[in-house]
Amino acid sequence: MIIFLVVSLLLYGFLNGYIIKRGLQAFSSRSVGRLLFVAVFSFLILSFPLSRIINGQFSHRLSQILAVPGIYYLAFMFYLFLLLFLKDLIRWSCLLFQQPVKTSSWLSVSNTASFTVILSVSLIIIFSGHLNAIRPVVKTLHLQVDKTADSRTGLRAVMLSDIHLGMYNRSNRLEALVRKINELNPEIVFFAGDIVDEAIGAEEEEKMVRLMKDIRAPLGLFACPGNHEYYGGLEKNISYLERAGVQELLDKALKIDGSFYVIGRKDRAALRFGDRRASLPAIMAADQVEPSLPLIVLDHQPIELEEAEQAGLDLLLCGHTHAGQLFPLNIINKLIYEKNWGYLKKGQTHIYVTSGAGTWGPAVRTGSRSEIVLLELSFRRVDDN
């Protein structure tokens, strides 16, 4: 954790040092602009770390005021750095081929207009990405499960993950999600982890519990934990969810409506906190799962997907990846995971990795869309056997 913190601070310092240097060069001949640039960026740069320090020590309302500009600045900083660096790459290429860059050129580090344009483009990217993040689409999947489910011939379910309720994603985001879920009229709702991100105030906690209680699903609400539930304190975060009527499945299988099973797995982060994570066969054996019935598994991280196929499961639902969330990180994301987003079938096992209904950090998506997944499952009829 200490190493991660040191590396993060060094990276944060480097990126902001680069931006400040280029800004001072761009406004070198404009004293008022230079002063305004220093004042605004000093506030933005300090907002995020100060909000974390104040929240960690005092849980003060001031931390919430600083948190909003601070967290959005992270995304703004990312794109501002990329665009400034791209400009420098072009300028360095010109110098490499002995094409001098004049002071009046848009490629010059002292050109105020080009720096202002880059600032504006970065702001447009963040604003567009914010609109993209807060308006989730509904992804509908029609899947055929080749098993009978007693007298049930189908199941209408909603699945979502990665809401990350906490310091940055407040109850107003959850209110919009609950409204969309109820519009889909699900029989059951699955949460594939990272519903709660970190400590929230008592007022927000009560709002979250009240809003989630408004979800209408006659067969219930079920969840598996994500890595962020562990980071924020698993017992505390599970208590929020249980009060809201969400049943958290920690390496546990439940038979629902006498027709199918829902299996929830502990996240792999459990191992880092001294906990154990049972294998799928061990969970099924411990809870006497009948493999002839449809088996639905919630497992936050889409890693070692072949485990579900080998265990004879019918549907595996994952999240965690955010499908990259920010361009060009989504390209790297695809290289890390066998399936970073979307549908995959291994043998008879259907797999879906959702991009998530929320965001981690700033509510900005430039490399993926927020989504809620509607699952229309069809089971084999008893008289078809």
Tens-place pLDDT, residues 159-187: 999 998 877 777 788 899 999 999 999 99
Dist. CA 262–CA 48, nearest whole Å: 40
Considering only 180-184, 229-233, 242-246, which range has the smallest mean pLDDT?
A: 229-233
HSE-up (13 A, CA, CB side) for residue 112: 9
Q: What pTM was computed for the model?
A: 0.90
Domain ranges of the chain: 2-129, 135-384
pLDDT exceeds cutoff 90 at 58: no
Q: Tens digits of per-residue pLDDT, 106-161?
A: 788 888 999 999 999 999 999 999 999 999 999 999 999 999 888 889 999 999 99
pLDDT (0 to 100) of residue 253: 96
Dist. CA 230–CA 226, nearest whole Å: 7
In CATH, what is the architecture of 135-384? 4-Layer Sandwich (3.60)
Dist. CA 43–CA 48, nearest whole Å: 9
pLDDT exceeds cutoff 70 at 31: yes
Residue 53 identity (one-letter amino acid) = I
Which helix (H) or strand (E) segment is 376 a member of?
A: strand 371-380
